[in-house]
Amino acid sequence: MPDAAQIAADLRALFGADAVLTEAEDLAKYESGWRYGKGRALLAVRPGTTADVSRLLAYCHAGGLRVMPQGANTGLVGASNPDASGEMLVLSLERLNKRLEIDPVNRTALVDGGVLLSSLNEALVAHGLMFPIDLGADPTLGGMIATNTGGTRLLKYGDVRHNLQGLEVVLADGTVIEALNFLRKNNTGLDLKQLFVGTSGIFGVITGAVLQVVPVPKQHATALVGCASGETVLALLQALERELADVFTAFEVISAEALTPVFRHHTDLRNPYGASQAPAYTALVELSSTLPLTALDLPEVLEERLGAFMEGEAGEGITDIFMGKPEEFWSLRHHISESLRSEGKVLAFDISVPRSRMATFTEAARAILMAEYPFVRCCDFGHWGDGGTHLNLVWDESTSPVATAELAPVLQGRIYDLAVLEFDGSYSAEHGVGPHNQRFYDAYTREPVRQLNGAIKAHLDPGRILGTTRLD
Ligand SMILES: Cc1cc2nc3c(=O)[nH]c(=O)nc-3n(C[C@H](O)[C@H](O)[C@H](O)COP(=O)(O)OP(=O)(O)OC[C@H]3O[C@@H](n4cnc5c(N)ncnc54)[C@H](O)[C@@H]3O)c2cc1C
């Protein structure tokens, strides 16, 4: 067991007393994840500069001390928390948040790894710009890069990977890799920064980044579209892309089983279907544009196009079209997860399959549940525009014939096997890899890929001091 008192004394001497936390009550917030992940930290250190991160990692590397890099701790696979050994030191990036330099002509922002997404967007407002990755949490930019965050507008803007120009990373031994590229075009060999995108911080600690930013749209138009089947949803998606690709920003889809609980638990939210039963699926369609309403009437365009689609042959399965305020419709989407938690035990999934197979995949999952686990409800919703679905399974633990501890792993195995082995999908569409889904990484990742990851890890972190996720 590392000598915590000696290490704390050494680190206080290097970084100042208030950079090092050792008391149980101070460490608690770094030890538990948002949804999964609970461990015990040796201590937590909060360096404020890249040079201090470098000094800290050199110290840990020399002493063989294991380190967990942590941003805002909003990750959803338990990869940001120390393990149960009590031997890991948390390297919190919360104080590495000073650099925030915007170049409006280049349309880039240089940020420290610990800058929060909200702080970046607040600074960008004055320039009419924003970072286009949009989600219901407020993570750090370093954490977003380490998990390659997707978000609700991936359809238009892509994920973090697509909006990243350069990186500054500190390797496990303290070496600083400065690759803060401000160029849009720079074809000079391996795009090294991609090694650190979506790899859960196990190859290095991200201390700085150059991000591409985009103009803030001047107007949005949103509609809820009732669809009788998954096939109708896909026909609608295809038609909207064909006709409105330039302004098509989001396509979220909510099953009746996921939508109905929202109104049960939030009577203040308006149910557009009133007393009628919601159709199989409701698509939330969003258009946005930097053109003002006077130049392009987006709500009118959307209403007209949806109406024309409904009248056509492919639109037979459209049951309703509701035009409305973006905040109102997005609020329904954002209340799903907690409404489901009020209904019983929730087993959350973050799956993707090729978009063309979303409807058949979801039907196949439902068929398995109906045949083998009829007491489990499939409350699916998600980013169908990106081929993503949060296929959440809900059941009443008090009446379930099988205990949750036994049922949950069996359901995970069944659904992930279906997605990965039969539908060419992914068991982690956007949340990354961590202890929560490590066994599925191990099961589905081919040997040559793991060997390559192992060689990279051995080169960048030979002492294996960074993180708990294994990619080899
Ligand atoms: C309510 C809610 C909604 C969400 N919605 C979405 C969504 O729509 N789409 C989506 O993709 N995700 C979503 N997420 C997931 C989550 O927000 C992302 O995974 C997040 O971007 C992680 O950033 P963080 O700063 O919180 O990192 P943390 O949770 O602290 O860390 C996540 C991982 O990154 C590593 N890490 C953190 N900082 C660094 C660094 N500077 N250098 C190296 N490694 C680092 C950690 O070790 C860990 O492995 C959601 C989460 C919540 C709670």
69 lines ligand 1 (CB under 6 A): yes
Dihedrals phi, psi of 179, to nearest 5 degrees: -130, 50
The per-residue pLDDT for 409 is 95
Q: Which residue among 279, 308, 337 closes a domain?
A: 337
Query: Does any domain span residue 327?
Result: yes
Distance from Cα 32 to the centre of ligand 1, integer Å? 14
Pairing of strands 88-92, 67-70: parallel
- For residue 96, the ligand 1 atom closest to its alpha carbon is 41
DSSP-H helix ranges across 373-423:
404-417, 423
Distance from Cα 173 to the centre of ligand 1, integer Å? 24
Tell me the average pLDDT across 221-247: 97
Place of tokens 């750090």: 140
The per-residue pLDDT for 281 is 98
Q: How far is CA 458 from CA 145, 171, 174, 454, 463, in A?
A: 21, 12, 15, 6, 8
In which element (H, E) is residue 27 found? helix 24-31
Instruction: Give the mean pLDDT of the chain.
Output: 97
Distance from Cα 429 to the centre of ligand 1, integer Å? 13
Its domain, for residue 234, covers 219-337
pLDDT at 1 exceeding the cut of 90: no
Direct distance between the N- and C-terminal alpha carbons of the chain, in angstroms, rounded to an integer: 26
Same domain, 261 and 167: no
Residue (of 205, 217, 121, 124) closest to 169 by Cα position: 205
250 lines ligand 1 (CB under 6 A): no
Select from 149, 152, 163, 349 the residue to mutate for testing ligand 1; criterion: most ligand atoms less than 8 Å from CB.
149
Distance from Cα 348 to the centre of ligand 1, integer Å? 16
Dihedrals phi, psi of 282, to nearest 5 degrees: -120, 125
pLDDT at 25 exceeding the cut of 90: yes
Other Cβ atoms within 10 Å of 201 Cβ, number: 30
- For residue 142, the ligand 1 atom closest to its alpha carbon is 41
pLDDT, tens digit (0-9, with 9 covering 90-100), for 398-452 = 999 999 999 999 999 999 999 999 999 999 999 999 999 999 999 999 999 999 9
Q: From the CA atom positions of the chain, what is the Rg in Å? A: 23
Indicate the pTM of the whole model: 0.96
pLDDT at 95 exceeding the cut of 90: yes
78 lines ligand 1 (CB under 6 A): no
Contact between 233 and 241 under an 8 Å Cβ cutoff? The reply is no
Report the alpha-carbon distance of residue 442 to residue 345 in Å, rounded: 26
Q: How far is CA 12 from the centre of its chain?
A: 34
348 lines ligand 1 (CB under 6 A): no
**pLDDT > 70 in the chain, percent:** 100
pLDDT, tens digit (0-9, with 9 covering 90-100), for 276-328 = 999 999 999 999 999 999 999 999 999 999 999 999 998 999 999 999 999 99
Query: Does any domain span residue 68?
Result: yes
pLDDT, tens digit (0-9, with 9 covering 90-100), for 264-275 = 999 999 999 999
Q: Which residue among 43, 58, 92 closes a domain?
A: 92
Q: How far is CA 13 from the centre of its chain?
A: 37
pLDDT, tens digit (0-9, with 9 covering 90-100), for 369-403 = 999 999 999 999 999 999 999 999 999 999 999 99
The closest residue, in CA terms, to atom 38 on ligand 1 is 143
Same domain, 260 and 327: yes
Report the alpha-carbon distance of residue 236 to residue 285 in Å, rounded: 10
Distance from Cα 139 to the centre of ligand 1, integer Å? 6
Tell me the average pLDDT across 176-198: 95
334 lines ligand 1 (CB under 6 A): no
Q: How far is CA 6 from CA 2, 11, 18, 69, 413, in A?
A: 9, 9, 16, 21, 45
Same domain, 192 and 252: no
The per-residue pLDDT for 149 is 97
135 lines ligand 1 (CB under 6 A): yes
Contact between 148 and 198 under an 8 Å Cβ cutoff? The reply is yes
136 lines ligand 1 (CB under 6 A): yes
147 lines ligand 1 (CB under 6 A): yes
The closest residue, in CA terms, to atom 44 on ligand 1 is 201
Domain total in the chain: 4
The per-residue pLDDT for 159 is 97
Residue (of 57, 279, 86, 331) closest to 177 by Cα position: 57
Contact between 378 and 366 under an 8 Å Cβ cutoff? The reply is yes
Distance from Cα 227 to the centre of ligand 1, integer Å? 33
50 lines ligand 1 (CB under 6 A): no
Report the alpha-carbon distance of residue 363 to residue 198 in Å, rounded: 30
The closest residue, in CA terms, to atom 23 on ligand 1 is 143
453 lines ligand 1 (CB under 6 A): no
Same domain, 211 and 225: no
205 lines ligand 1 (CB under 6 A): yes
Distance from Cα 388 to the centre of ligand 1, integer Å? 17
Q: Which residue among 162, 196, 215 closes a domain?
A: 215
Query: Does any domain span residue 385?
Result: yes
Same domain, 329 and 266: yes
Contact between 265 and 342 under an 8 Å Cβ cutoff? The reply is yes
The CATH number of residue 47's host domain is 3.30.43.10
- For residue 207, the ligand 1 atom closest to its alpha carbon is 41
Contact between 85 and 71 under an 8 Å Cβ cutoff? The reply is no
Contact between 185 and 69 under an 8 Å Cβ cutoff? The reply is no
Residue (of 336, 382, 333) closest to 358 by Cα position: 382
pLDDT, tens digit (0-9, with 9 covering 90-100), for 70-88 = 999 999 999 999 999 999 9
Distance from Cα 403 to the centre of ligand 1, integer Å? 31
- For residue 434, the ligand 1 atom closest to its alpha carbon is 49
Does residue 272 sit in helix, strand or coil?
Answer: coil
Select from 29, 31, 50, 76 the residue to mutate for testing ligand 1; criterion: most ligand atoms less than 8 Å from CB.
76
The CATH number of residue 192's host domain is 3.30.465.10
Does residue 220 sit in helix, strand or coil?
Answer: strand
pLDDT band at 105 (very low <50, low <70, confident <90, very high): very high
Count of alpha carbons within 13 Å of 129, Cβ hemisphere only? 19
Does residue 407 sit in helix, strand or coil?
Answer: helix
Query: Does any domain span residue 471?
Result: no
Distance from Cα 59 to the centre of ligand 1, integer Å? 26
Contact between 19 and 48 under an 8 Å Cβ cutoff? The reply is yes
3-class DSSP string for 337-349 = HHHHHCCCEEECC
pLDDT at 462 exceeding the cut of 90: yes
Same domain, 353 and 440: yes
47 lines ligand 1 (CB under 6 A): no
Distance from Cα 75 to the centre of ligand 1, integer Å? 4
Select from 32, 57, 80, 119 the residue to mutate for testing ligand 1; criterion: most ligand atoms less than 8 Å from CB.
80
Q: Token pair of 310, please? A: 């409904």
Other Cβ atoms within 10 Å of 277 Cβ, number: 8
Same domain, 210 and 224: no
Same domain, 415 and 457: yes
Same domain, 226 and 319: yes
Longest dimension (CA), the chain: 74
pLDDT, tens digit (0-9, with 9 covering 90-100), for 314-344 = 899 999 999 999 999 999 999 999 999 999 9
Same domain, 199 and 123: yes
Sign, Cα dihedral of 105, 106, 112, 117: positive
Per DSSP, the residues of 137-198 read S--BHHHHHHHT---TTHHHH--GGGGEEEEEEE-TTS-EEEE----S---SS--GGGGGTT
The per-residue pLDDT for 86 is 97
